[in-house]
């Protein structure tokens, strides 16, 4: 078998094969990597976290899914529930009051986003419209509707709103670092006031886009809390540079209600914030 996946993170507690029909499998798929967790609904605990880098970006999702199943010795249909998180930038947010299902295709075409298969998630009064790759759509159909699709930004934004709405009212910014781009969301208490993606090549690019956004929104970079999420180290050159201009930099902490098996604690929670919190964002 030709392998297109390179193991990067492989952490797991014991998986009871006899109880797999009580588990939830969540897969997060991007062009650069494929991650998954196995969640025990009875114990309300994540038991397994694995991440693979993809060696060939042109390989279809169906081939990657076949390889994962052969590596892990389970099948998609063995699980009680399966969630697939589409992690890309092919989406747009529309206020629900202005949303029209008949116009969904036009929303994406205006942004030059492929619109062969359109899906819509809901975040309170916001519609998140996104494109699903043909191969991904066919895989989901072949599994008798057992796979629920969500866009990564839906889970990211929804979790932030739920988590921070009960805290002291203030404006907060959140950076979700990906591979050569980042996602920036800004909340004013429980209201989303900004969301976008930015490609970057250098740490200076990274900082510029954040400061430019703050300037446009008239946000004081000396006082606003900026939370980092995603694949970034706390001593990275990006963090060091940002700290010179943005005083209040933090890494997001784990929700006390989220249970993770001991074996998974060696991996920083904020690396997989979206993946972990998919179970709380139906």
CA distance 80 to 139: 17
**In the chain, what are the domains?**
1-164 (3.30.420.250), 167-251 (3.30.420.260)
For 152-193, write each residue's pLDDT tens digit: 999 999 999 999 987 887 999 999 999 999 999 999 999 999
For the chain, the average pLDDT equals 93
Of 150 and 105, the structure prediction assigns the larger pLDDT to 150
User: For the stretch 75-108, what's the b/e string if a residue is b when 16 or more beta carbons lie within 10 angstroms of its beta carbon?
Assistant: ebeebebbbbbbbbbbbbbbeeeebeeeebeebb
| pLDDT tens-digit series, residues 237-259 | 999 999 999 999 999 999 888 89
**Residue 282: pLDDT band with limits 50, 70, 90:** low
Cα(246)–Cα(50) distance, rounded to whole angstroms?
33
pTM, full prediction: 0.95
Q: How far apart are CA 56 and CA 265, in angstroms?
A: 30
Q: Name the pairing type of β-strands 259-260 and 81-86.
A: unpaired
pLDDT at 144 over 80: no
What integer pLDDT is reported at residue 143 of this predicted model?
A: 82
Instruction: Provide mean pLDDT across the span 264-268.
Output: 95
DSSP per residue over 118-131, as a string?
EEEEEETTEEEEEE
Least confident of 49-58, 108-117, 161-170: 108-117
Residue 145 has pLDDT above 80, yes or no: no
pLDDT at 281 over 80: no
Report which of residues 168 and 34 the model is more confident about: 34
Lowest-pLDDT choice from 31-45, 96-110, 179-193? 96-110
Among 51-65, 85-99, 158-172, the range scoring the smallest mean pLDDT is 158-172
- How confident is the model over 218-233, as pLDDT tens digits? 999 999 999 999 999 9
Given a cut of 90, is residue 116 above it in pLDDT?
no
Query: Quick check: 124 pLDDT over 70?
Result: yes
């Amino acid at each position: 078998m030709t392998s297109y996946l390179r193991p990067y993170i492989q952490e797991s507690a014991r998986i009871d094969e006899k109880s797999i029909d009580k588990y939830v499998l969540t897969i997060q798929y991007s062009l650069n990597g494929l991650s998954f967790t196995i969640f025990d609904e009875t114990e309300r605990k994540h038991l397994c976290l694995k991440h693979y880098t993809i060696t060939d970006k042109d390989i279809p999702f169906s081939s990657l899914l076949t390889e994962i199943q052969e590596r892990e010795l389970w099948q998609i249909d063995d699980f009680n529930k399966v969630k697939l998180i589409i992690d890309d930038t092919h989406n747009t947010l529309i206020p629900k009051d202005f949303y029209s299902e008949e116009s969904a295709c036009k929303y994406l075409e205006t942004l030059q986003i492929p619109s062969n298969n359109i899906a819509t998630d809901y975040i309170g009064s916001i519609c998140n419209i996104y494109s699903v790759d043909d191969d991904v759509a066919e895989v989901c159909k072949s599994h008798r509707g057992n796979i629920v699709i969500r866009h990564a930004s839906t889970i990211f934004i929804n979790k932030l709103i739920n988590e921070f709405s009960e805290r002291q009212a203030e404006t907060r910014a959140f950076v979700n670092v990906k591979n050569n781009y980042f996602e920036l969301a800004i909340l004013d208490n429980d209201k989303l006031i900004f969301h976008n993606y930015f490609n970057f090549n250098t740490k200076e690019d990274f900082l510029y886009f954040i400061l430019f956004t703050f300037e446009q929104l008239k946000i004081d970079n000396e006082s606003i809390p900026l939370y980092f999420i995603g694949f970034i180290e706390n001593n990275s050159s990006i963090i060091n540079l940002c700290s010179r201009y943005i005083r209040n930099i933090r890494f997001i902490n784990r929700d006390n209600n989220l249970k993770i098996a001991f074996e998974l604690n060696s991996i920083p929670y904020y690396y997989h914030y979206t993946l972990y919190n998919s179970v709380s964002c139906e």
